[in-house]
Amino acid sequence: MVQSNATDVDAYLAEVSDDRKVVLTRLRELCRAELTGFTEVMAYGMPAYERDGVAEIAIASQKQYISFYLMRSDVRDAFAERLAGQDVGKGCLRFRKPERVDLELVRDLLRATAAAPGQVC
């Protein structure tokens, strides 16, 4: 699944293969727990988390990997050392295997994102 037509996150997760559903559900739980004041929405066919109508975080099941979109360059820059060993694109972390998702790193990135508003890329 690259882009979903699901209208909400529950429907999105229902479409995901079982091997990815567990970790995507855990990512969702982390987002909901750490992103106080954010709204969970579907944007561009994937679950996203908005503050004041602007998406700062998103997650997705792509064809070859699970994506964690971090749209705040200030947070990415602050975590450059910890992200150095990860498969990182301009705005996302890619996890090729569900069991390789670094939930501690994701939690820390979510906490840093929630701590203060910032410019999205």
Look at residue 60 and give its three-state secondary structure. strand
Summary mean pLDDT of the chain: 94
d(CA 52, CA 73): 18
Residue 3 lies in a domain: no
Between the CA of residue 44 and those of 5, 55, 103, what are the distances in Å? Answer: 9, 11, 24
Answering whether pTM is above 0.95, one says no
Find the domain containing 31 and state its range: 9-113
Q: What digits encode the pLDDT tens for the residues 62-101?
A: 999 999 999 999 999 999 999 998 999 888 999 999 999 9
Residue 2 located in a structural domain: no
Q: In total, how many domains does the chain have?
A: 1
pLDDT of 36-46, one tens digit each? 999 999 999 99
64 lies in some domain: yes
Assigned domain for 91 exists: yes
Residue 81: CATH number of its domain: 3.90.1150.200
